[in-house]
Amino acid sequence: MSFIELKHINKKYENAERNSVTDFTLSIEEKEFIAFVGPSGCGKSTTLRMIAGFEDITGGDLYIDGVRVNETAPRDRGIAMVFQNYALYPHMTVEKNIAYGLMNMKVPAGEIKKKVDWAVKILGLEEFRYRKPKNLSGGQRQRVALGRAIVKNQKVFLMDEPLSNLDAKLRVSMRNEISRLHRELGTTTIYVTHDQVEAMTMADRIVIMKEGVMQQVGRPMELYEHPVNKFVAGFIGSPQMNFYPVVLEDNLLKFADGSRIAMPDVMLERLGDRRGEMIMGIRGEDIKLDEQNMELYQKDRQHAVVENTEVMGNENNLYFTFGGSLTVARVSKYEISQIGDAIDFVFSPLKMHFFDKDTEESILK
Ligand SMILES: Nc1ncnc2c1ncn2[C@@H]1O[C@H](COP(=O)(O)OP(=O)(O)OP(=O)(O)O)[C@@H](O)[C@H]1O
Ligand SMILES: [Mg+2]
């Protein structure tokens, strides 16, 4: 048995018409960092709160460290939780805020001091130790909230969007701090976010949810390279994957605007005997404008006129209409064009994804 086991977990709130979480099954290993991602309302917090014990489990079984804890009180589950809207005690100093939970648990004073010393050090809060929360920045306050969780020395950390109140720059630095903390402490962590970049950069494995149902679980690059359906393909990655309604006839991929691309044998093999209408998806970085790729896929060269650009230096996006759909290509700084420029480009055919037009499930073998 794994460290945390969720077996066919369901949640239906009283008075709700349908389940908020349906048949959620997942095994989490000790020391793993798991991220739950998905759009607003997909059931991330509900699942986390059931693990914490703040919500009843309607159906299924939850095990932590080998013990079934469905009916166990939150304080006896061995978890520490960090919320989005953590409330620090405004009249207490940083060290008192961090120590407060331990004082409540009647931990001896000497031990509390040791733990607080350790926490302020590991979180870089030493010079703020005697300050009150109102005299701290958002990131420093967030670190105090983390401090309260780590001193409790629990088996599992549960974090629900802990960084969403911070500005973009602070989010990036706190993201690194939490990752470092996880490497140092090795505490099994479940981290809820709707930010796929946070999930991709921090997690060992990501769980993607939609409308209460787990869509896919896997390592970040696994989800990026092999999404099981169009939803996952579209959710992971920025800018979003491009999608086209297409028809595959023999080895020819036909687009809504009449464009055609010949499919290489490797790809046909992965498509088996699937032909006809389907959805093709390709990521912006797999649309190529460089000479080498243009030469390689010379026969399937396409043309378009640039409608918009996003130039950020290291990351440059060109927008144009192709195949009847707005398309974004991610290009290097050597291929930046201006609005109105006519461009030639090719698709990396081996990087294409194919989805059933009705079920939207991946049809690649
Ligand atoms: N106390 C409640 N009573 C009834 N329905 C609820 C309750 N809490 C949440 N829900 C519903 O359950 C579903 C899942 O909510 P949940 O808060 O888990 O979503 P989430 O993925 O955390 O979303 P967000 O990213 O917005 O925080 C939603 O449809 C929500 O409206
Ligand atoms: Mg939530």
pLDDT digits (tens, 9 = 90+) for 199-236: 999 999 999 999 999 999 999 999 999 999 999 999 99
Quote the tokens at residue 136: 């701290």
Q: What percent of the chain has pLDDT over 90?
A: 81
Output the pLDDT for position 343.
96
Q: 216: Cβ below 6 Å to ligand 1?
A: no
248 by DSSP, 3-state: which?
Answer: strand
Q: Which residues of 75-113 are buried (b: 16+ CB within 10 A; e: fewer)?
A: eebbbbbbbeebebeeeebbbbbbbbebeeeebeeeebe
pLDDT at 130 over 90: yes
Non-local CB neighbours of 138 within 8 Å, separated by 6+ positions: 165, 166, 167, 170
Residues near 293 by beta carbon (within 8 Å), at least 6 away in sequence: 346, 348
Residues with CB under 5 A from ligand 2 (ion): 45
- Report the run of H or E that residue 223 belongs to, with start and end: helix 220-225
Q: What count of Cα atoms within 13 Å lies in the side-chain half-sphere of residue 364?
A: 18
Q: What's the 43 CA to ligand 1 centre distance in angstroms?
A: 6
pLDDT at 163: 86
- Token digits of residue 323: 């195949």
Neighbours of 246 (CB within 10 A): 24
- Of 158-167, 281-290, 319-328, give the lowest mean pLDDT range: 158-167
Residue nearest atom 8 of ligand 1, based on CA coordinates:
46
Model confidence over 261-302: pLDDT tens digits? 999 999 999 999 999 999 999 999 999 999 999 999 999 999
46 CA: nearest ligand 1 atom: 18
Going by the DSSP 8-state scheme, the letter that residue 209 receives in this structure is: E
* Residue 239: how many other CB atoms lie within 10 Å: 15
Q: What is the mean pLDDT of residues 107-131?
A: 93
All domains in the chain, ordered by first residue: 4-233 (3.40.50.300), 239-355 (2.40.50.140)
pLDDT score recorded for residue 166: 79
Q: Return the residue whose CA atom lies nearest to atom 22 of ligand 1.
A: 45
- The residue nearest atom 20 of ligand 1, judged by CA position, is 41
Distance 210 CA to ligand 1 centre (A): 12
Q: From the CA of 46, which ligand is nearest?
A: 1
- Contact at 8 Å (CB) between 357 and 321? no
Cβ of 16 below 6 Å from ligand 1? yes
Nearest CA to ligand 1 atom 27: 40
- Closest Cα to atom 17 of ligand 1: 45
φ/ψ of residue 225, rounded to 5: -85, -30
Contact 212, 43 (CB under 8 A): yes
Q: Please tell me the distance between residue 194's alpha carbon and the centre of ligand 1 in angstroms.
A: 13
- Judged against a pLDDT cut of 80, whether residue 358 lies above it is answered with yes
Distance CA 254, CA 260 (A): 5
242 CA distance to ligand 2 middle (Å): 28
Instruction: Tell me the C-alpha distance between 311 and 309, whole Å.
Output: 6
pTM: 0.92
Measured at the CA of 274, the angle between CA 349 and CA 263, to 5 degrees, comes to: 20
